[in-house]
């Protein structure tokens, strides 16, 4: 007979980042007003030590104003540096927006209210989310 202190859990312990740990690609995303605003395209766990999103990109403005896009064309989140840095620190999900011409959106991990039944519920409305550039 097994004792309670000998029972091993069937899952790994969470790292303490909150509901974002339960999110997976393809889940529906529901905003605070109850509207489905898209599906999860990407998940990035937070790194409180992240200095900037440009850490791998040259600091001088060479070869011109578009250097960041040239060197980091596939970086996420695709947002202004101040917002992107905050999201890199807190963690975020990228939402594949509904609609042919709709821009994808990003939501910070601390704006996730809950995750259940294949849906991510947010504490904010769609219009309060950062849009992809």
DSSP codes joined into one string, 48-90:
TT---TTTTS-SS--S-TTHHHHH-TT-SS-S-HHHHHHHHHH
Average pLDDT over the chain, rounded to an integer: 78
- Of 123, 125, 126, 105, which is closest to residue 19 (Cα–Cα)? 123
Model pTM score: 0.72
**In this model, does residue 124 exceed pLDDT 90?**
yes
- Of 53, 66, 118, which is closest to residue 92 (Cα–Cα)? 53
Q: How sure is the predictor about 11, in pLDDT bands with cuts at 50, 70 and 90?
A: very low
Which pLDDT does position 52 carry in this prediction?
55
Beta bridge partner(s), residue 130: 106
Q: Are 90 and 56 in contact (CB under 8 A)?
A: no
């Amino acid at each position: 007979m097994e004792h309670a202190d000998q029972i091993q859990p069937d899952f790994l312990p969470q790292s303490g980042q909150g509901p974002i740990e339960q999110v997976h690609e393809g889940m529906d995303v529901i905003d605070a007003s109850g509207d489905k605003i898209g599906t999860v395209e990407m998940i990035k766990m937070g790194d409180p030590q992240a200095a900037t999103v440009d850490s791998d990109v040259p600091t001088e403005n060479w070869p011109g104003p578009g250097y960041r896009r040239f060197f980091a064309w596939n970086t996420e989140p695709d947002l202004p540096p101040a917002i992107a840095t905050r999201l890199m620190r807190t963690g975020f999900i990228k939402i594949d927006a509904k609609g042919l011409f709709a821009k994808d959106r990003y939501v910070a991990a601390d704006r996730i209210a809950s995750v259940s039944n294949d849906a991510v519920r947010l504490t904010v409305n769609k219009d309060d989310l950062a849009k992809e550039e």
